[in-house]
């Protein structure tokens, strides 16, 4: 989730964020966490602690609120909170078996509490660098089909190549 209420905004950023949150004077009521993305992963067995790479798919589709939000920011940080849910599986002694027999193992199943979360701050510069890497000097824009067809027709008529 993106937590827009956890940062300050310049007047230029506030003007660009009007489409998402309305007039800045009403932001006290309107700045609420909103979805950045959903991820799913499975972590293999480990003892103690472990680190896991969690790939986050990002888009530059301006129909998505998180993209409009991040694109509107001049710099600084994007406050994000990761909310966890899932199931933990762990080895445990099997019920009714002698504790001395290490082969007598069972599996315990526990839910991950909905209250588990981790906050972090993504640098706007890092997000922009990623967008520039995958979408250099471009951005996605939704057009009406009629306009897209007319642009395609002009491209073909003028023998323009996509570059």
7 CB-near residues (< 8 Å, 6+ apart) = 76, 77, 78, 79
C-beta of residue 38 within 8 angstroms of C-beta of residue 93: no
What's residue 145's pLDDT? 94
User: Using an 8 Å Cβ cutoff, are 44 and 123 in contact?
Assistant: no
**Whole-model pTM above 0.95?**
no
**pLDDT tens for each residue of 54-76:** 888 888 888 899 999 999 999 99
Residue-level length of the chain:
163
The whole-angstrom separation of Cα 22 and Cα 34 is 15
Q: Write out the chain's pLDDT in tens, 163 residues.
A: 999 999 999 999 999 999 999 999 999 989 999 999 998 888 888 888 999 998 888 888 888 999 999 999 999 999 999 998 888 888 776 665 555 555 556 788 889 888 889 999 999 999 999 999 999 988 777 889 999 899 889 888 888 776 5
Find, among 60, 62, 64, 2, the residue nearest to 34 by Cα.
2
Q: How far apart are CA 2 and CA 31, in angstroms?
A: 10
Mean of pLDDT over the chain: 88
Nearest to 84 by CA among 109, 47, 65, 111: 111
């Amino acid at each position: 989730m993106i937590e827009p209420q956890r940062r300050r905004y310049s007047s230029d950023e506030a003007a660009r964020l009007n489409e998402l949150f309305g007039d800045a004077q009403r932001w006290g009521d309107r700045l609420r966490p909103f979805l950045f993305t959903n991820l799913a992963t499975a972590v293999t067995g480990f003892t103690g602690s472990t680190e896991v790479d969690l790939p986050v798919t990002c888009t530059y589709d301006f129909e998505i609120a998180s993209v409009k939000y991040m694109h509107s920011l001049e710099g600084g940080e994007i406050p994000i909170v990761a909310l966890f849910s899932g199931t933990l599986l762990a080895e445990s002694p099997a019920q009714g078996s002698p504790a001395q027999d290490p082969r007598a193992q069972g599996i315990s199943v526990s839910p991950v509490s909905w209250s588990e979360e981790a906050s972090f701050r993504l640098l706007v510069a890092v997000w922009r660098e990623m967008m520039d890497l995958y979408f250099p000097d471009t951005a996605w824009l939704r057009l009406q089909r009629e306009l897209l067809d007319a642009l395609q027709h002009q491209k073909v008529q003028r023998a323009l190549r996509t570059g």
